[in-house]
């Protein structure tokens, strides 16, 4: 691992065990918060089961509940309900104890966990193979160690896919096509900064306001996932094209409040950890099926789907390189170098 505390540990299982041992001295306090049989544990997630991330959260909650015989009874709170309905505050809610467990997105959690920003570096992890490289090996271990230092207990990471852009009529094929484009953005502020760096005009509005803006010709594009485009029937407001350009990647994080983790028995921890790892292993398949179904729906709605070529990735990446360097400095140079090496080793 990347700290002396975890020297020689190459697997997060060992890291979690070492964390538990290191805090054993607070056992008396832990007994104060040990859950009683049947007590409810709160699991936070930003979306409901209509989305892959929400399905994963529900699966994790159910497996913990079932495998503990109901001793650890987990209830899912979707819509970031435990974090003031703001996915960007979910990491803080987990750390502060408003949530006992959480399944979150690296894009949103990176506002508080700067190291997670490495995942979303523009075009670093283009394509599913490169994204998978960031949730395995040394990069995964570095990310998990950073979260342990930030006082939460991470149990698993899983690929969550890439954001896309949908346009009314303009074909986005080169960086120049973004200049002046009015793009609705509902993600964290960093995504707005990304579009501004490419010369676009990011805007934040409700969907109701966006519908009127699209109809009146005051909006040209929408950022988001294909699943979100399909769920909101984006084709009904005159949007005709989707570009799958792999610009900003996301990974899912399965994590537990540290105080809660310390209060559990070793047997409880095994149930929670193993369940998290199993569901994380399933998430890539859930995401793939979600995207395939969404793209099929968008095509039925008359939308054209275009996938950017590797040459296109390179052109856009060059155009936004100054922003890449800026974000890389925040995430940490050593971590970024490790991530770049990991994706460079991937065979296309």
Any residues with CB less than 8 A from the CB of 70 and at least 6 apart, and which? 37, 38
CA 306 to chain centre: 23
Residue range 273-281: average pLDDT?
A: 98
Residue range 5-19: average pLDDT?
A: 36
Residue range 87-91: average pLDDT?
A: 95
141 and 96 part of one domain = yes
Whole-model pTM over 0.75: yes
Instruction: Give the pLDDT score at 187.
Output: 83
Q: Decide which of 38 and 163 is more confident.
A: 163
Number of neighbours of residue 282 by Cβ within 10 angstroms? 15
Give the DSSP per-residue string, 267-302: HHHHHHHHHHHHHHHHHHHHHHHHHHHHHHHHHHTT
Does residue 338 fall inside a structural domain? no
Q: How much of the chain is in helix, strand and coil states, percent to nearest 5? A: 55, 15, 30
35 and 68 part of one domain = yes
126 and 191 part of one domain = no
- Boundary (domain end) residue, out of 228, 261, 285: 285
The β-bridge relationship of strands 201-203 and 182-184 is parallel
Phi, psi of 71 (to 5 degrees): -65, -40
- Strands lying side by side in the sheet with 201-203: 201-203, 182-184, 221-224, 164-167, 241-244, 304-307
Using the predicted structure, report yes or no on whether residue 341 has a pLDDT greater than 50. Answer: yes
d(CA 48, CA 198): 32
Does residue 340 fall inside a structural domain? no
What confidence tier does 227 reach under pLDDT thresholds 50, 70, 90?
A: very high
Using the predicted structure, report yes or no on whether residue 21 has a pLDDT greater than 60. Answer: no
Q: Which residues pair with 249 in a beta bridge?
A: 162
The β-bridge relationship of strands 249-257 and 101-105 is antiparallel
Residue range 135-152: average pLDDT?
A: 95
43 and 186 part of one domain = no
Using the predicted structure, report yes or no on whether residue 14 has a pLDDT greater than 80. Answer: no
210 and 142 part of one domain = no
Residue range 229-252: average pLDDT?
A: 96
d(CA 301, CA 321): 35
Using the predicted structure, report yes or no on whether residue 140 has a pLDDT greater than 90. Answer: yes
191 and 111 part of one domain = no
- Strands lying side by side in the sheet with 73-77: 73-77, 40-45, 101-105, 249-257, 152-162
Any residues with CB less than 8 A from the CB of 321 and at least 6 apart, and which? none
120 and 202 part of one domain = no
Supply the CATH number for residue 47's domain: 3.40.190.170
What confidence tier does 348 reach under pLDDT thresholds 50, 70, 90?
A: confident
Using the predicted structure, report yes or no on whether residue 29 has a pLDDT greater than 60. Answer: no
d(CA 322, CA 190): 14
Residue range 147-174: average pLDDT?
A: 96
Tell me the per-residue pLDDT of 321-338, one tens digit each, with 9 for 90 and over: 999 999 999 999 999 999
Number of neighbours of residue 333 by Cβ within 10 angstroms? 9
DSSP 8-state symbol, 1: -
Pull the structure tokens for residue 333.
Answer: 């140079």
What confidence tier does 347 reach under pLDDT thresholds 50, 70, 90?
A: confident
Per the structure, the count of domains in the chain is 2
Any residues with CB less than 8 A from the CB of 210 and at least 6 apart, and which? 184, 219, 222, 237
298 and 150 part of one domain = no
Tell me the per-residue pLDDT of 113-130, one tens digit each, with 9 for 90 and over: 999 999 999 999 999 999
Instruction: Give the pLDDT score at 335.
Output: 97
Tell me the per-residue pLDDT of 299-319, one tens digit each, with 9 for 90 and over: 999 999 999 999 999 999 999
Counting Cβ atoms within 10 Å, is residue 87 exposed (0-12), middle (13-18) or buried (19+)?
buried
The domain of 302 spans 164-247+293-331
Instruction: Give the pLDDT score at 27.
Output: 33
204 and 141 part of one domain = no
CA nearest 220: which of 187, 163, 178? 178
230 and 298 part of one domain = yes
Does residue 341 fall inside a structural domain? no
125 and 221 part of one domain = no
d(CA 113, CA 242): 31
Using the predicted structure, report yes or no on whether residue 28 has a pLDDT greater than 50. Answer: no
d(CA 157, CA 105): 10
Using the predicted structure, report yes or no on whether residue 292 has a pLDDT greater than 90. Answer: yes
Instruction: Give the pLDDT score at 15.
Output: 37
21 and 87 part of one domain = yes
């Amino acid at each position: 691992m990347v700290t002396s505390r975890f020297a020689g540990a190459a697997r997060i299982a060992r890291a979690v065990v070492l964390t538990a041992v290191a805090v054993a001295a607070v056992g008396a306090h832990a007994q104060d918060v040990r859950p009683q049989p049947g007590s409810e544990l709160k699991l936070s997630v930003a979306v409901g089961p209509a989305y892959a991330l929400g399905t994963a959260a529900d699966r994790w909650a159910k497996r913990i509940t079932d495998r503990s015989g109901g001793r650890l009874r987990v209830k899912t709170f979707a819509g970031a309900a435990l974090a003031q309905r703001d996915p960007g505050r979910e990491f803080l809610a987990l750390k502060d104890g408003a949530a006992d467990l959480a399944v979150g997105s690296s894009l949103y959690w990176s506002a508080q966990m700067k190291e997670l920003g490495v995942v979303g570096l523009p075009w670093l992890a283009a394509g599913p193979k490169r994204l998978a490289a960031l949730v395995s090996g040394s990069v995964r271990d570095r990310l998990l160690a950073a979260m342990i230092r930030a006082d939460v207990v991470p149990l698993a990471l899983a690929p969550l896919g890439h954001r896309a852009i949908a346009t009314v009529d303009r074909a986005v094929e080169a960086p120049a096509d973004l200049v002046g484009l009015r793009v609705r953005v509902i993600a964290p502020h960093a995504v707005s900064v990304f579009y501004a760096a490419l010369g676009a005009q990011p805007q934040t509005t409700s969907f109701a306001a966006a519908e009127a803006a699209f109809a009146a010709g005051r909006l040209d594009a929408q950022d988001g996932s294909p699943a979100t485009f399909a769920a909101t029937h984006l084709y009904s407001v005159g949007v005709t094209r989707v570009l799958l350009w792999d610009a900003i990647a996301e990974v899912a994080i399965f994590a537990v409040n540290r105080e809660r983790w310390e209060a559990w028995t070793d047997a409880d921890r095994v149930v929670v950890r193993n369940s998290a790892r199993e569901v994380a292993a399933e998430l890539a398949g859930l995401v793939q099926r979600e995207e395939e179904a969404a793209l099929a729906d968008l095509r039925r709605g008359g939308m054209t789907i275009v996938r950017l070529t590797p040459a296109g990735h390179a052109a856009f990446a060059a155009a936004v390189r100054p922003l890449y360097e800026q974000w890389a400095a925040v995430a940490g140079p050593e971590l970024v170098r490790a991530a770049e090496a990991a994706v460079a080793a991937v065979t296309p």
